[in-house]
Structure 1
Amino acid sequence: MPLPSPNLYPDFNIVRLSHVESVVTDLTRSKAFYAEALGLQVTYEDGNRICLRALEERNHHCVILKKGEEPVARDLGFKVYSDSDIDKAETFFKAKGLPVAWVERPHQGQTLKTQDPFGVPLEFYHQMETLRPIHQQYRLYKGVRPLRIDHFNCFSTDVDSSVAFYNELGFRVTEYTEDEETNKLWAAWVYRKGGVHDMAFTNGRGPRLHHVTFWVPTPLAIIDLLDLMSISGYLANIERGPGRHGISNAFFLYIRDPDGHRIEIYCSDYLTVDSDLEPIKWDLKDPQRQTLWGAPAPKSWFEEGTLFEGAAVEEPKLKAQPIVAP
């Protein structure tokens, strides 16, 4: 299936991804992991909820941890350019027959809750409470020294359809994996903010959240995190890496939080702001697609993910399989 042409003038203007809300079973345990091991900064906490931001971010939060019985993902948040864009988003999603609701969110202004056609829960807002800059407060830099949230990756049962829908929202493809036998997309990376991606879609049982990613200053920050995790009780939480992706060229590490939510630590991808940027195609069987150095991903990386609260999971339409580590 051909990639859709870039949509440079969507119905409303999404600036970037913003935040994720995850349900965790033990707030104390999760705070130790996110704040002490990773180094995110706590901006609010009570007995039911913890908000955190990364070191370059001025908005109140990029992660919300909500106490609950089962570890699931709730909303994936996106920031739009203006308040009028939220109204335009409501019109857009209503016209698609998708549910919309105006919701109250602590520390956020007017917020629209909806979902994509595949069941991924989304929310859109323009204004969030801002906090003082801390990017030069180097005494706060600990753990992996996360600078900002970078992207989401979701399992999709039909990557072609996911790309087509998000293309309507103005997302543009930077790189993609195509199954040569069917000419169907197996995975795709799409962006708004000018990096390689704000969203990625991986073929698999879905909808499920595959991972949330944080950008770090250098690959050495990832090495420091591995050293820290190995001696602080988190050795088993290391899933994949370190390595360098073929797709995106980024240096990476995949880890799991105490509830199994997957997190990628990431740096060194490239700029994508040119309007005529041509997407890069990869073959599903190319061993350098996953990792430039040729190491395949483990089975868990292709099969395990976080359920979205209330979303029914279905099998993927495409049955093709990439190279998997033994």
Structure 2
Amino acid sequence: MPIPKPNLNPAFNIIRLSHVELVVTDLARSRAFYVDTLGLQVTDEDSETIYLRAMEERGHHCIVLRKGDEPRARDLSFKLFDEDHLEKAEHFFRTRGHATEWVERPYQSRSFRTRDPHGIPLEFYARMDRLPPIHQQYKLYHGVKPLRIDHFNCFSPDVDASVAFYTELGFRVTEYTEDEETGRLWAAWMHRKGGVHDMAFTNGTGPRLHHTAFWVPTPLNIIDLLDLMATTGWVGNIERGPGRHGISNAFFLYIRDPDGHRIEIYCSDYQTVDPDLEPIRWDLKDPQRQTLWGAPAPKSWFEEGSLFEGTEPVPASLAAQPIVAP
């Protein structure tokens, strides 16, 4: 199925992804992982919730950890251009039959929740409380030195349908994987902010959250994190990498938090600002698609993900098989 043409004049203007809320079962253990090991900065916390930001971010938070009985992913949140575009966005979803709900969120202007056609919970807002800059407070840098949240990747039961819907929202495809036999999309990378992606979709039982990614300064920061995790009790949480993706050209590492939520540590992709930039096609069987160096991903990477709260995943409609590590 062909990639849809970019929609350069969507009904409302999404600036970028903003943050995600994860339900975790042991807040202290999660704090040790995200703060003490990865190096995210605490902006507020109590006995039930921890708000975190990365070093370059001025918004109050990029990830929210909330204590709960079972690990879940909650809303994927996106920042809009202004309050007028927030109204336009709510109207867009409501008039197309998506349930919308205005909600109050700490540290944000008014926000609304909805779901995409497959049930991914989405949140939109226009303003978040600003905090003083800390990117030059080098005494605070530790762990992998995370600079900013970069993207979400979700399992989709129908990647073609996901791409069609998010194209309508103004997301543009930068790279994609096509199944040669069926001509259907197996995966796609889509952006708003001018990197390779804010949202990616991977074929599989879904919707589920595959991973949340954080941008770091250099590949050497990833090596430092591996040494740290290997000597502080987190070696079992290293899932895949380090390596360099064929898709995106990014240097990467995949790790799992104490509840199994997958985090990608990521750097070195490329700029995609030009509106007429042609998407790059990859064949599903190309061994350099996953990793430029040819190393395939483990089985867990294709099968495991975080359940979205309030959404029951369904099997993928495409049965194509990628290359999997033995």
Measured after TM superposition, the shift of residue 68 of structure 1 is: 0.1
Measured after TM superposition, the shift of residue 323 of structure 1 is: 0.2
Q: What residue number does 1:149 align with?
A: 149
Query: Structure 1 stretch 106-115 or stretch 286-295: which is displaced more?
Result: 106-115
Query: Structure 1 stretch 235-244 or stretch 91-100: which is displaced more?
Result: 91-100
Looking at structure 1, the residues matched to 25 and 312 of structure 2 have their Cα atoms a distance apart, in angstroms, of: 21
Q: 3-state DSSP class of the match of 1:17?
A: strand
Measured after TM superposition, the shift of residue 238 of structure 1 is: 0.1
Q: What residue number does 2:53 align with?
A: 53
Q: What residue number does 2:115 align with?
A: 115
Amino acid at match of 2:279: P
Q: What residue number does 2:283 align with?
A: 283
Q: What residue number does 2:20 align with?
A: 20
List aligned pairs for 1:195-206, cutoff 5 A.
195-206=195-206
Structure 1: runs of 5 or more not aligned: none
Query: What stretches of structure 1 move > 2 A for 4+ residues in a row?
Result: none
Looking at structure 2, the residues matched to 177 and 218 of structure 1 have their Cα atoms a distance apart, in angstroms, of: 26
Q: What residue number does 1:69 align with?
A: 69
Amino acid at match of 1:156: S
Cα deviation per residue 1:53-108 (whole Å; 9 max; x = unaligned)?
A: 00000000000000000000000000000101110011110122011000010111
Structure 2: runs of 5 or more not aligned: none
List aligned pairs for 1:179-198, cutoff 5 A.
179-198=179-198
Measured after TM superposition, the shift of residue 275 of structure 1 is: 1.0
Q: What residue number does 1:267 align with?
A: 267
Q: 3-state DSSP class of the match of 2:114?
A: strand
Q: What residue number does 2:39 align with?
A: 39
List aligned pairs for 1:312-323, cutoff 5 A.
312-323=312-323
Q: 3-state DSSP class of the match of 1:248?
A: helix
Q: What residue number does 1:305 align with?
A: 305
Cα RMSD (Å): 0.4
Q: TM-score, normalised by structure 2?
A: 1.00
Q: What residue number does 2:6 align with?
A: 6
Looking at structure 1, the residues matched to 29 and 38 of structure 2 have their Cα atoms a distance apart, in angstroms, of: 13
Cα deviation per residue 1:260-307 (whole Å; 9 max; x = unaligned)?
A: 000000000000000110000000000000000000000000000000
Aligned residues: 326
Q: 3-state DSSP class of the match of 1:177?
A: strand
Looking at structure 2, the residues matched to 317 and 237 of structure 1 have their Cα atoms a distance apart, in angstroms, of: 31
Looking at structure 2, the residues matched to 182 and 31 of structure 1 have their Cα atoms a distance apart, in angstroms, of: 45
- 1:124 equivalent in alignment to 2:124: yes
Q: 3-state DSSP class of the match of 2:16?
A: strand
Percentage of identical aligned residues: 74
List aligned pairs for 1:72-111, cutoff 5 A.
72-111=72-111
Cα deviation per residue 1:20-78 (whole Å; 9 max; x = unaligned)?
A: 00000011110111001000000000011000000000000000000000000000000
Cα deviation per residue 1:220-241 (whole Å; 9 max; x = unaligned)?
A: 0000000000000000000000
Looking at structure 2, the residues matched to 134 and 79 of structure 1 have their Cα atoms a distance apart, in angstroms, of: 21
Q: 3-state DSSP class of the match of 2:139?
A: helix
Amino acid at match of 2:297: A
Amino acid at match of 2:222: I
Looking at structure 1, the residues matched to 14 and 109 of structure 2 have their Cα atoms a distance apart, in angstroms, of: 16
Looking at structure 1, the residues matched to 295 and 110 of structure 2 have their Cα atoms a distance apart, in angstroms, of: 45
Measured after TM superposition, the shift of residue 154 of structure 1 is: 0.1
Q: 3-state DSSP class of the match of 2:124?
A: strand
Looking at structure 2, the residues matched to 276 and 238 of structure 1 have their Cα atoms a distance apart, in angstroms, of: 38
Looking at structure 2, the residues matched to 312 and 33 of structure 1 have their Cα atoms a distance apart, in angstroms, of: 28
